[in-house]
């Protein structure tokens, strides 16, 4: 069976299908396009499960693509190589799962330009999988930049078919803002990659961009710091780290629900993964020195954006700022630089992805029914949408760290990891300041739940319908993941190792 498992197929299958879907050869019938694309996402998820079933952490998947028998850029040691280790396998599975949920969520949220929408969604999946599996720095950067193209169109596209001129302009502005932030950060990141490649060659005599061939300990200490900061700026935009975060709330507000699910569930994790692969593992000596400073930024992320989230009235903006706050928790776990912190960070990537998928799905359902996301004017919809209210209550409780759900495990592990950090007292203080996250998150999430679902039902909402089968599948899948990983965390923690 192992001979049928291929990293290139896993990565490039969605890209090939994307080109086919957008081509004139494929039908324009929206039902066929939607069902075919959903089938592709489902097949891809099953294929990733198959790869997981035969995965051996002692013998990870490795693959290299040659071009007419040659490496990609042979003169400078750049090879088109891929590797799936424990963490890559987890994030690959998560990516396939979230994109499958997004395809289900697309049924009622995408009303126009189906061919272009699904082709861009498939292309984005390929780009993100390339990021999570690349074992060469320049291949990593190639997919990092490729992801900009579909993300731009998905955020700024006209998908409802009934957007006003103002809505269309806001979506386009959000897409441009996302591209500018990410592209400028990428240029700084590319400088860091070039410096790392060059100094690895002159210090170690190794002409290679493969992560396994880089020995940063021989690179001058000052240069290591410069490279680390350059990389952190690039990854900090995507994570995002304050003050590089301002693109995120706008992108979430104006993007359709399935795109918000992908942005929060997966795209933000590419920034955390970049810090893990480059700063944490490759430039570990410099990261130990920088980590206390980075932990302060993590605390700012956690607490500041929690206050901002509480001040919001738009459901999507509340969830968007809560995502920034939670990404600070992931960053804090990495800054602890110990096994518990690493496990906590990767575990919270999964837990946060599930929570945000559920919360953005709830926000999208409310907007579809009520044409409104303002919690100050929403009221009493639990009366006519009891099933949605049930899911919303449980997912909100999970998001604030109630025991028996996945976020509780990662939050506790992060605090323990910070308290056990040996190299800096800053992390110990940071862990104390991280505790208010549990209180602050409960404040803004319970405020959203109370104002939206309780109270007197306005007359204009009396005839709205409860959730459909597609929406039930998405919310039930999210809830199942939160419960499984909350009650049996070792399923995931054991794999992180």
Is the peptide bond preceding residue 240 cis, with omega within 30 degrees of 0? yes
Tell me the CA end-to-end span of the chain in Å, nearest whole number: 25
pLDDT at position 456 is 87
Residue 232's nearest CA partner among 304, 282, 178, 174 is 282
pLDDT at position 436 is 64
SS3 199: helix
pLDDT at position 272 is 95
pLDDT at position 90 is 96
> For the purposes of burial, counting CB atoms within 10 Å of the CB of 156, is it exposed (0-12), middle (13-18) or buried (19 or more)?
buried
pLDDT digits (tens, 9 = 90+) for 380-436: 899 999 999 999 999 999 998 889 899 999 988 988 888 887 766 767 776 666 666
Question: Distance between CA 217 and CA 288 in Å, rounded?
Answer: 13
SS3 78: strand
Q: How many CB atoms sit inside 10 A of residue 294's CB?
A: 22
Residue 379's nearest CA partner among 446, 453, 447, 465 is 453
pLDDT digits (tens, 9 = 90+) for 159-212: 877 667 787 888 899 999 999 999 999 999 999 999 999 999 998 888 889 999
Residue 276's nearest CA partner among 241, 244, 235 is 235
How would you write 110-140 as a 3-class SS string? CCCCHHHHHHHHHHHHHHHHHHHHECEHHHH
Query: What tokens were used for 246?
Result: 């301002």
Residue 20's nearest CA partner among 122, 100, 89 is 122
pLDDT at position 229 is 95
Number of helices and strands in the chain (H, E): 20, 2
10-residue averages of pLDDT along the chain (497 residues) = 79 96 90 94 96 88 82 83 94 96 92 92 97 95 95 90 76 92 94 95 89 90 94 94 89 90 94 95 92 89 88 91 90 90 94 95 92 88 93 94 91 87 70 68 88 88 89 95 95 86
pLDDT at position 358 is 95
Alpha helices, DSSP H only, in 54-113? 86-109
pLDDT at position 71 is 76
Note the Cα 393 to chain centre separation in Å: 23
SS3 238: helix
Helix (H) or strand (E) holding 62: strand 61-65
**Torsion sign (Cα): 148, 121, 347, 136:** negative
Q: What is the DSSP letter of 23?
A: S
SS3 17: helix
β-bridge mates for residue 82, sequence order: 63, 134
pLDDT at position 424 is 64
SS3 49: helix
Q: Given the structure tokens 């990767």, which residue do they identify?
A: 346
Instruction: Give 3-state DSSP helix, strand, coil % of the chain, rounded to 5.
Output: 75, 5, 20
pLDDT at position 435 is 66
pLDDT at position 419 is 82
Question: Distance between CA 358 and CA 486 in Å, rounded?
Answer: 16
Query: What tokens were used for 276?
Result: 């893990």
Residue 480 CA neighbour count, 13 Å, CB half: 8
Tell me if 176 sits within 8 A of 149, measured CB to CB: no
Note the Cα 199 to chain centre separation in Å: 31
Residue 144's nearest CA partner among 114, 187, 175 is 187
Tell me if 482 sits within 8 A of 405, measured CB to CB: yes
Length of the chain: 497
Query: What tokens were used for 392?
Result: 């919303």
Residue 112's nearest CA partner among 211, 256, 286 is 256
């Amino acid at each position: 069976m192992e001979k049928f498992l291929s990293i290139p197929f896993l990565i490039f299958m969605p890209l090939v299908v994307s080109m086919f879907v957008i081509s004139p050869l494929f039908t324009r019938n929206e039902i066929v396009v939607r069902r075919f694309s959903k089938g592709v996402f489902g097949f891809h998820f099953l294929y990733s499960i198959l790869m997981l079933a035969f995965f051996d952490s002692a013998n990870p998947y490795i693959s290299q693509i040659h071009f007419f028998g040659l490496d990609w850029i042979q003169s400078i040691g750049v090879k088109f190589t891929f590797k799936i280790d424990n963490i890559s396998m987890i994030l690959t599975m998560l990516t396939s799962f979230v994109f499958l949920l997004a395809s289900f969520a697309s049924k009622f949220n995408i009303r126009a330009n189906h061919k272009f929408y699904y082709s861009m969604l498939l292309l984005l999946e390929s780009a993100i999988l390339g990021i999570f599996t690349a074992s060469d720095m320049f291949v990593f950067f190639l997919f990092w930049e490729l992801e900009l193209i579909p993300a731009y169109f998905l955020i700024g596209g006209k998908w409802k078919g009934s957007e006003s001129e103002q809505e269309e302009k806001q979506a386009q502005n959000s897409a441009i803002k996302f591209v500018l932030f990410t592209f400028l950060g990428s240029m700084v990141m590319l400088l860091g990659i070039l410096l790392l490649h060059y100094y690895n060659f002159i210090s170690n005599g190794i002409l290679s961009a493969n992560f396994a061939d880089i020995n940063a300990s021989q690179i001058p200490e000052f240069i290591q710091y410069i490279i680390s900061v350059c990389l952190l700026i690039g990854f900090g935009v995507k994570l995002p780290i304050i003050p590089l975060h301002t693109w995120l709330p706008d992108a979430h507000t104006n993007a359709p629900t399935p795109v918000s699910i992908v942005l929060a569930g997966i795209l933000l994790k590419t920034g955390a993964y970049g810090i893990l692969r480059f700063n944490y593992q490759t430039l570990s000596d410099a990261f130990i020195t920088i980590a206390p400073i980075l932990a302060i930024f993590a605390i700012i992320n956690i607490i500041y954006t929690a206050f901002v989230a509480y001040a919001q009235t738009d459901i999507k903006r509340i969830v968007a700022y809560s995502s920034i706050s939670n990404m600070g928790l992931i960053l804090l776990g990495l800054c602890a630089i110990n096994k518990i912190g690493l496990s906590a960070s990767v575990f919270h990537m999964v837990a946060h992805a599930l929570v945000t998928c559920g919360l953005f799905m709830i926000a999208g359902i409310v907007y579809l029914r009520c044409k409104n996301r303002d919690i100050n004017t929403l009221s009493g919809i639990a009366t006519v949408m009891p099933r949605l209210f049930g899911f919303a209550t449980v997912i909100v409780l999970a998001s604030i760290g109630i025991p028996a759900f996945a976020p509780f495990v990662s939050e506790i592990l992060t605090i323990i990891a910070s308290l056990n950090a040996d190299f800096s007292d800053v992390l110990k203080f940071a862990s104390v300041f991280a505790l208010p996250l549990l209180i602050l998150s409960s404040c803004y999430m319970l405020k959203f739940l109370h104002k939206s679902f309780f109270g007197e039902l306005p007359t204009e909402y009396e005839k709205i319908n409860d959730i459909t089968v597609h929406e039930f599948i998405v919310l039930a899948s999210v809830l199942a993941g939160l419960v499984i990983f909350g009650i049996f965390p070792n399923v995931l923690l054991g794999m992180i190792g």
